[in-house]
Chains A and B, each alone.
Chain A
Amino acid sequence: MISIGTMIILAVVLALITRVFLMKHKLLSWVLFSAYTAFSVFVLLKLYGNWNYFETMNLSYLVGRINMRPGFMNKPLGWFFSFFVMAMSFLNSFFSMGFSKSIHSRNIVPHWLMILAASLTVFFTKDWLLFIIGWETLGWASFFIIMGGKQKKYKDSMSYYFFSLVSGMLLIAAVWMIGIKFRTLNIHTTTRSMIILAKNTPWQAFPILLMLTLSFLIKSGAYPFHIWAPRAHKSAPADFSPFISGIMIKFGIFGLLLYVIPIVSKGYAGYSIFGMPVFAWVFSWLGIITSAIATVLAFSENDAKRLMAYSSVANAGYIITAIFLGTALGIKGGLLHAFNHMIFKAVIFMTIAAVVYRTGETDMNKMGGLAYKMPITFMTFLLGIIAAAGIAPMNGFVSKWMIYQALLGQKHYFMTVAMFFASTGAFLYLYRALHAIFLGQIREVHEREVKEVPFLMQIPMWIGMILMFGLGVFPGYLLRPMMPLMKTFGSSISESLNVVQGSVGSLNTLFSTVIFILGVVIAAAIFFLSAKTHKTPMMDNYTSGEDPEEWNVTPNKYQFSYGFYEPITKMFAWALKRSVDKAYFKASYILKIIGREINMIFTDHNNWGYAALLGLLAMIIGGLFL
């Protein structure tokens, strides 16, 4: 049996090897990466069910007065997240092997391996110390991947690193407060102590929980910390975006489920509102607000990757809402949606990466009609957005249905309506992306050059399609293994393959699939029985009889989905005007101004007198008031 510690060390060693020796052999390092992830998947599969497994490292750390031996523990929650991390990275590695273009940075593999090591640490650790170490390693490793050695991407990667640092600092402070209070840094024993603390003296538990929650929400891209998500996704290498969206955003969800949710749902004894602790209620609403705002922002987005990033933020919002409900159904729905989202969003980003691979574009206004040239990619994307929009029979439907059921079961009607709005919006902007990229008329450049991606890159797409459809028809294949996981959250329903239990009713996914297939058959029948299609040149039908030349429009410039949702964008213009981005930029600008003024204190010796006075004043004020 290979221990988890060995797997982590192996990843770090491989990272060093690829960084030092294999910088010139990109393909070889990707093969190594692939082998490592496959091996980890194998090791993890053997670990499944062995929930009492733990190991202690042969090192001892003295942290303050706490003498600790770090170690790892196999818990269902951590197992599931790490399994998905490894499996998705494994799928992604095929894609990256094919993707290895000349512009593809060589720095990706070593840093990605560091991220894998860090994520194994975070998911399996039994104490907070290793959790912090893994958590902060994610930040700088991702920074270097996202920047990829390009000056114009530096700002986006820095915004990710900044939020990562903020999250890390909040985490350290919260962990220390836990450590000082309970004299131990063990995650699982302090959970129990925290539940008791929250029951007896909620005001002592509140700051700790708040800091932890904020730290985790930053990593999930919740409002108002969402601004890193579109920037990081946009700038990241095309084959790393699936990982950011599928996995990195879920680290926050993992943290919440690991620590905050059990305490809030079990131990909170403060004020409650609508039958929910105020704390959980506020953050449930924050999830809804996040998804609503992300949806509105996605409407006006022209960049495919940024649009999908906003979609990821919106999905993180659904998950946050669901898990903060605290009911077994809510947590189950949230978890299932998290895993489903990992699959379908990773697949969607892979298709976008495939498009980038062939066209080099992410601007949707410069694409169109690629469906004829890249049919497999198109099919994958289509199934992906059906899943993302939450339409039967794909996997996104089941989990969204469960979240709605959980909301309705707790009688949160407002939340349900707000979430329904966000979900409908998701359908609209996803369709727009589909249309802009794959439908409509193809540009002349693309007509000549673009073809389907190589087979190696198609492998993960095929697997993704099968997974999305299979888990949509038989969600039991995921829900059944999840039973030990749900047991830790107090639900012991035994799942069947195709019937999902809600709070108001149950859903037979096989039945809804049959209906869907019937619909497809009827539509196909109408299509084949009706009049034959005939091709028309682009300028004939798009411009309603106007002469395009008068407007200076040529077929190459014409893009049907340009300004697609302009009315909706106008409708929300008031909201978009006050963006959080601007507030952050303003703050950064002010910081620079202050820095310049302080520089003047040091460099201009005319100011020394004032400086001395300032120091003296600080001492006097401190002596008097602190």
Chain B
Amino acid sequence: MNTYLTLLIILPVFAAFLMYFFRKADNWINIAIMSFVTLFGTVSSLVMLFSQGSEVVALGGWKPPYGIVLVGDRLSLIFVALIYLITYLIAQFGGIERTKVNDHKSGALFMLLTAAAAGMILTGDLFNFFVFMELAAISSYVLIAKGGCRSSYTGALKYIFTGGLASMLMLLGIGILYNTTGTLNIAHLMLRIGLVGDSLRWLALGLVLCGILLKMEVFPFNLWVPESYKGAPAGMKIVLGSILSTVGGYTLIRLYPILIQNPGLIKMLLPLALLSLILAELAAYREKHINRLLGYSSAGQMALVMLAILFGGRMGIYAAIFIVIAHALAKAVLFFVGAHFKKSTDSSMWESYRGLSKTSPIGAVLFTVAALSLTGIPGMMGFWGKLSMIGAGLASAKYFSIGIILIITIVEGVYFLRISGTLYQSNESDVKAKASYLLIPAVILVLIIVLIGFWPGCISKIINGGVSAAERSSEYAKLVLDYLL
């Protein structure tokens, strides 16, 4: 079984190299390679997840505190399965022109990005995490720029600026941590972080968090969001919204044991997350461009995740995991359906989607379900996340934050149902549905959303396992460091 964990990172990289040899062949070969690799990743990570096994691979045989380890525990496997599922859907159903990730150049970059995302989740080493993060960042710069319109370049450029700054700060933070604790292994770090003095620890952690907050699109690291989401090709939008932000959310959940040892840091991050939530959702309330709107909404949802983690406790982590998953699924649906709408109407302004429910009834239903799920309406998956999150906040007596979250949820509900309402208004237009194959992955994801919405019990065992793995530093440390005994 151990080899699977390595394969999850190696195979996509291998596929990326392989694509070079098929550069002159038809695109379907590239699609076949990518689909096979990602499907393999999905299935194997799901198998590992359901067999409830946790495993640690020490690369090169170096013992954990010294070498790099890959950790597939009950938390990280959930997220690996999630991102592999979404990359599979992008690769298989993304379509060639629309998502622009399937020709051999961008396909290779997409595979590299997949490997990097899986690596960020699986790695148990902070510096290795940084390396994978840079890998993902560089591939995403190029992929955003491949959107081919003006805002693709500005979006990519903005992402490079903010991303470069954030990763430099993160590197600085990692350096400080290494200097003071003498280790880069996350599990080891969890045990030794208490040895560092307060102010230095906060500085180092704050700097490390910069990189994660950039991926999570938290203000003020999310200033690239509107332009990049607008300019990126459709496949890359899904990657930005459902994969990279998911990885960011996962990392913050993973670092939770370190975070709660620093109540001062939590105090500082709480207003930042609240500010991020308010700004993102109010910006979305006003936004007319569908992709920018969805980008703002991603930022808002990730701020919710951050708040749930900061509320802490079992319920907070549960809520965070649930919201991250629900957001990844729903956002992928919205981008798939959005790409389908854009293809049909040739416009990205949601006001021009009036009456699309006639042309594309399934698309309208899918959009509505995903939007309601993000709002947290019962019957969809997002409800359970929001419910647990409000419970976590009230349990930790953060009444002010909860008040803001409730108000912002109303804003969110209004702007999402406004779009759905527009879809259902009658309008005499002769729009024809194009690129309907984009709805297939959306249907699959919506079925998952609704299934979990009505029966959260079907995954609550897995999520609770993830919560236990995330909450207790001792469990993670034992898992990783016992290996050397």
Residues of A within 8 A of B (CB): 59-65, 107, 132-134, 136-137, 139-140, 143-144, 147, 149-151, 154, 157-158, 161-162, 165-166, 169-170, 172-173, 176-177, 179-180, 591-592, 594-596, 598-599, 601-603, 605, 608, 611-612, 614-616, 618-623, 626
Decide: A618 and B271 in contact? CB cutoff 8 A. Answer: yes
Q: Which residues of B contact A612 (CB under 8 A)?
A: 220
Q: Which residues of B contact A133 (CB under 8 A)?
A: 378-379, 383
Q: Mark B272-285, 1 if CB is under 8 A from A, else 0.
A: 10110001001111
Partner of B406, one of A62, A173, A180, A616: A173
Q: How far is the CB of B288 from chain A (nearest CB, A)?
A: 10
Decide: B425 and A149 in contact? CB cutoff 8 A. Answer: yes
Decide: B457 and A140 in contact? CB cutoff 8 A. Answer: no
Partner of A594, one of B223, B270, B282, B418: B282
Q: Which residues of A contact B407 (CB under 8 A)?
A: 169
Provide 8 A-B residue pairs closer than 8 Å at the C-beta atoms, listed in order of the A residue.
A64-B391, A147-B424, A154-B418, A154-B422, A157-B421, A176-B395, A595-B284, A622-B269
Q: Mark B447-458, 1 if CB is under 8 A from A, else 0.
A: 000000001110
Q: Which residues of B contact A622 (CB under 8 A)?
A: 267-272
Decide: B377 and A136 in contact? CB cutoff 8 A. Answer: yes
Partner of B410, one of A162, A592, A595, A619: A162
Q: Which residues of A contact B309 (CB under 8 A)?
A: none
- Could you tell me the distance between the alpha carbons of A461 and B392 in the complex, rounded to whole angstroms? 51
Q: Which residues of B contact A176 (CB under 8 A)?
A: 387, 390-391, 394-395
Question: Would A64 and B414 be within 8 Å (CB), given that A154-B421, A608-B223, A622-B270 are in contact?
Answer: no
Central interface residue in A107, A147, A626, by most chain B CB within 10 Å: A626
Q: Which residues of B contact A132 (CB under 8 A)?
A: 378, 387
Decide: A59 and B394 in contact? CB cutoff 8 A. Answer: no
Q: Which residues of B contact A147 (CB under 8 A)?
A: 421, 424-425
Decide: B226 and A598 in contact? CB cutoff 8 A. Answer: no
- Could you tell me the distance between the alpha carbons of A592 and B388 in the complex, rounded to whole angstroms? 30
Question: Would A166 and B220 be within 8 Å (CB), given that A149-B425, A591-B282, A619-B269 are in contact?
Answer: no
Q: How far is the CB of A122 from chain B (nearest CB, A)?
A: 12
Q: Which residues of A contact B354 (CB under 8 A)?
A: 151
Question: Would A137 and B379 be within 8 Å (CB), given that A173-B394, A180-B391 are in contact?
Answer: yes
Decide: A137 and B378 in contact? CB cutoff 8 A. Answer: yes
Question: Would A614 and B457 be within 8 Å (CB), given that A147-B424, A596-B286, A603-B226 are in contact?
Answer: no
B98-139 residues with Cβ-Cβ distance < 8 A to A are: none
Decide: B283 and A619 in contact? CB cutoff 8 A. Answer: no
Dominant secondary structure of chain A at its interface with chain B: helix
Decide: B390 and A619 in contact? CB cutoff 8 A. Answer: no
Q: How far is the CB of A79 from chain B (nearest CB, A)?
A: 23
- Could you tell me the distance between the alpha carbons of A24 and B222 in the complex, rounded to whole angstroms? 47
Q: How far is the CB of B389 from chain A (nearest CB, A)?
A: 10
Q: Beyond the given A137-B378, A591-B282, please list 12 additional residue pairs across the A-B interface where CB-CB is below 8 A.
A: A61-B460, A64-B318, A65-B314, A136-B378, A165-B414, A172-B387, A598-B283, A602-B296, A608-B220, A615-B275, A618-B271, A619-B268
- Could you tell me the distance between the alpha carbons of A166 and B282 in the complex, rounded to whole angstroms? 17
Q: How far is the CB of A400 from chain B (nearest CB, A)?
A: 36
- Could you tell me the distance between the alpha carbons of A137 and B387 in the complex, rounded to whole angstroms? 15
Q: In this complex, what residue of A is CB-closest to B202?
A: A623
Q: Which residues of B contact A616 (CB under 8 A)?
A: 220
Q: Is B471 an interface residue (CB 8 A)?
A: no
Decide: A64 and B406 in contact? CB cutoff 8 A. Answer: no
Partner of B286, one of A144, A173, A599, A605: A599
Decide: A615 and B272 in contact? CB cutoff 8 A. Answer: yes
Q: Which residues of A contact B88 (CB under 8 A)?
A: none
Q: Which residues of A contact B283 (CB under 8 A)?
A: 595, 598-599, 601-602
Decide: B388 and A63 in contact? CB cutoff 8 A. Answer: yes
Decide: B282 and A179 in contact? CB cutoff 8 A. Answer: no
Q: Is B464 an interface residue (CB 8 A)?
A: yes
- Could you tell me the distance between the alpha carbons of A618 and B276 in the complex, rounded to whole angstroms? 10
Q: Is B219 an interface residue (CB 8 A)?
A: yes
Q: Is B67 an interface residue (CB 8 A)?
A: no
B425-477 residues with Cβ-Cβ distance < 8 A to A are: 425-427, 455-457, 460, 464
- Could you tell me the distance between the alpha carbons of A131 and B197 in the complex, rounded to whole angstroms? 49
Q: How far is the CB of A514 from chain B (nearest CB, A)?
A: 53
Q: Is B264 an interface residue (CB 8 A)?
A: yes
Q: How far is the CB of A180 from chain B (nearest CB, A)?
A: 5
Question: Would A64 and B227 be within 8 Å (CB), given that A161-B417, A622-B271, A623-B268 are in contact?
Answer: no
Q: Which residues of A contact B414 (CB under 8 A)?
A: 158, 161-162, 165
Q: Which residues of A contact B272 (CB under 8 A)?
A: 615, 618-619, 622
Question: Would A611 and B372 be within 8 Å (CB), given that A180-B395, A623-B264 are in contact?
Answer: no
Question: Would A169 and B286 be within 8 Å (CB), given that A137-B378, A143-B417, A615-B275 are in contact?
Answer: no
Decide: A63 and B391 in contact? CB cutoff 8 A. Answer: yes
Central interface residue in B286, B422, B455, by most chain A CB within 10 Å: B286
Question: Would A140 and B417 be within 8 Å (CB), given that A64-B391, A64-B395, A594-B282 are in contact?
Answer: yes
Q: Which residues of B contact A172 (CB under 8 A)?
A: 386-387, 390, 406
In the A-B complex, the 10 residue pairs with the smallest Cβ-Cβ separation, listed nearest first, are: A595-B286, A622-B271, A615-B220, A133-B378, A623-B268, A169-B406, A618-B271, A151-B425, A598-B283, A619-B268
Q: In this complex, what residue of A is CB-closest to B375?
A: A165
Q: Is B225 an interface residue (CB 8 A)?
A: yes
Q: How far is the CB of A281 from chain B (nearest CB, A)?
A: 27
Q: How far is the CB of A208 from chain B (nearest CB, A)?
A: 11
Q: Mark B389-403, 1 if CB is under 8 A from A, else 0.
A: 011101100000010
Q: Is B413 an interface residue (CB 8 A)?
A: yes
Decide: B391 and A179 in contact? CB cutoff 8 A. Answer: yes
- Could you tell me the distance between the alpha carbons of A137 and B354 in the complex, rounded to whole angstroms? 24
Q: How far is the CB of A360 from chain B (nearest CB, A)?
A: 17
Central interface residue in A134, A592, A603, by most chain B CB within 10 Å: A603
Q: Which residues of A contact B383 (CB under 8 A)?
A: 133, 136
Decide: B269 and A158 in contact? CB cutoff 8 A. Answer: no
- Could you tell me the distance between the alpha carbons of A623 and B268 in the complex, rounded to whole angstroms? 4
Q: Is B158 an interface residue (CB 8 A)?
A: yes
Q: Mark B193-227, 1 if CB is under 8 A from A, else 0.
A: 00000000000000000000000000110110111
Decide: B390 and A618 in contact? CB cutoff 8 A. Answer: no
Q: Which residues of B contact A596 (CB under 8 A)?
A: 286
Q: Which residues of B contact A173 (CB under 8 A)?
A: 390, 394, 402, 406
